[in-house]
Amino acid sequence: MTSSWKKSAGQTLRRLQASNPEPARAALMGIGHALRGDDAAGLEVACRLKPAANERFLVVEAGHAPENATGPVRRFAPALVLLVDAAQMGTPAGTVRWLDWRTTTGLSGSTHTLPPYVLARYLTLALGCEVALLGIQPAQTDLGAGLSDVVETAVTDVTATLFNLFSL
Closest CA to 2 of 161, 154, 166, 117: 161
Specify the CATH number of the domain 4-16+25-166.
Answer: 3.40.50.1450
Task: Check if the beta carbon of residue 101 is closer than 8 Å to that of residue 114.
Answer: no
pLDDT, tens digit (0-9, with 9 covering 90-100), for 63-78:
988 988 999 999 999 9
pLDDT of residue 111: 54
pLDDT, tens digit (0-9, with 9 covering 90-100), for 148-168:
999 999 999 999 999 998 875
Domain residue ranges of the chain, discontinuous segments joined by +: 4-16+25-166
Q: What predicted TM-score, i.e. pTM, was given to this entire model?
A: 0.90
Q: Where are the beta strands (DSSP E) in the chain?
A: 26-31, 57-63, 80-86, 96-99, 130-136
Query: Residue 62: phi, psi to the nearest 5?
Result: -85, -20
Alpha-carbon separation of residue 21 from 27, 119, 165, 168 (angstroms): 18, 28, 19, 17
